[in-house]
Amino acid sequence: MTTTLSAARLRLRPRGADRDVVRDVSMSLRSGEVLALVGPNGSGKSTLLSTLARSLEPREGVLRLGDDDASALSRRQFARSVAWSPQQPEVATGVCVEELVAQGRHAHRTLLGALAADDRHAIDRALRSVDVLELRRRPVETLSGGERRRVWLAMALAQESPILLLDEPTAALDLRHQWEVLSLLARLNREHGLTLCVVLHDLEQAAALAHRVVVLHRGRVYTSGAPEVCISEETLRDVWAVDARVSKEDGFLRVRVLGPADPLRHL
């Protein structure tokens, strides 16, 4: 696999923060793979993802898209290759679902250009793929949290960029829609070669979806590699401070948390 998006020696400080929350992180996203960013709350997952999306500029380090320094590319050039769905997106009051999803076509249109046939086909495909076609005329503010999450995913899919960055795409979804979204992402990767970097809290979902995981701990990479190697009982104890049993059942990684780890027991 060739590297499509890579970061070297990143130090990141979100707006308003008084310290770096990501320190000296290097990582790469390879063409055609699914990479999951996992770690406890506050470990730097969302901050790292927003930097990969160029929403946050690094204090130190370099972000590259292929062989290019990403900072040298225009926003439109970058968006043709990389789409991003943030964790808590905002939308103006009165915008309907179809109008929001149409914003995903911005990188493909001229400044004042109307939607072309290709744009409308992409919008319809995206709405249908996440099961919100019947909501297309609804104002976004009238939707439930789960419906909004699927609509924002549709906007990212409508962008039709080869790289998709998703921050907790299953948040606020019921169990059925969580696994439907994961199945959709797996199919897009498998059938269309879509490259994915996904922040997930659920380690079993991360293991089911991803080819590789990057485990973040206190703003640094604790480990990275295949899920069955990195999602281990030792990792759960060191990073999440819990005792757990990790097993493989019917081809899927299963994580059973037993309780908080006793730090004195492991001295």
pLDDT digits (tens, 9 = 90+) for 21-55: 999 999 999 999 999 999 999 999 999 999 999 99
Would you state the pLDDT for residue 73? Answer: 94
Section 86-94 average pLDDT = 79
Higher pLDDT, 1 or 193: 193
Question: Looking at residue 2, what is its pLDDT?
Answer: 67
pLDDT of residue 1: 59
263 pLDDT band, cuts 50/70/90, is low
Query: What is the pTM for the complete model shown?
Result: 0.91
The secondary structure element, H or E, covering residue 49 is helix 45-52
Residue 250 domain-assigned (yes or no): no
Do 12 and 68 sit in the same domain of this protein? Answer: yes
Q: Do 172 and 67 have their domain in common?
A: yes
In percent, the amount of the chain with pLDDT more than 90 equals 74
Question: What is the rounded distance in angstroms from the CA atom of residue 129 to the CA atom of residue 116?
Answer: 20
CA dihedral 21, 27, 32, 34 (to 10 degrees): -40
State yes or no: pLDDT of 63 exceeds 70. yes
Is residue 124 packed enough to be buried (19+ CB in 10 Å), middle (13-18) or exposed (0-12)?
middle
pLDDT tens-place string over residues 171-196: 888 888 898 889 989 999 998 899 99
Q: Mean pLDDT, to the nearest integer, of 146-175?
A: 91
User: In this predicted model, which residue has the larger pLDDT, 179 or 231?
Assistant: 231
Closest CA to 73 of 84, 83, 63: 63
Q: How far apart, in whole angstroms, are the C-alpha atoms of residue 111 and residue 103?
A: 12
171 with 110, same domain: the answer is no
261 is a domain residue: no
Domain count, the chain: 2
Structure tokens given for 21: 């929350």
Residue 252 lies in a domain: no
Tokens of 105: 């076509």
Domain with residue 66: its CATH number is 3.40.50.300
193 phi-psi bin (left φ>0, alpha ψ -120 to 50, beta other): left
Listed range (85-89, 91-95, 257-261, 263-267) with the worst mean pLDDT: 263-267
- Determine the straight-line distance between the first and last CA of the chain, rounded to whole angstroms: 41
Instruction: Establish if 246 belongs to a structural domain.
Output: no
**pLDDT score of 53:** 96
Give pLDDT, residue 38: 98
The overall average pLDDT reported for the chain is: 91
Q: Is residue 255 situated within a structural domain?
A: no
Using 50, 70 and 90 to split pLDDT, how confident is the model at 137?
very high
Strand order in the sheet with 3-12: 22-30, 3-12, 60-65, 68-69
Encoded tokens for 261 = 């780890």
Dist CA 54 CA 162 (whole Å): 16
Q: pLDDT over 70 for what percent of the chain? A: 96
Residue 91, pLDDT above cutoff 80: no
**Mean pLDDT in residue range 217-230:** 97
CB 242 within 8 A of CB 259: yes
Are residues 74 and 119 both part of a single domain? no
108 confidence band (pLDDT: 50, 70, 90) = confident
Domain that holds residue 115: 91-160
Burial class (CB in 10 A: 0-12, 13-18, 19+), 256: exposed
Tell whether the model's pLDDT for residue 70 goes beyond 90: yes
Ramachandran angles phi, psi of 211, nearest 5°? -80, -35
Q: Does 88 score more than 80 pLDDT? A: no
- Please check whether residues 219 and 199 belong to one and the same domain: yes
Average pLDDT of the residues in 251-261? 94
- CA angle 125–126–131, rounded 5-degree value: 95
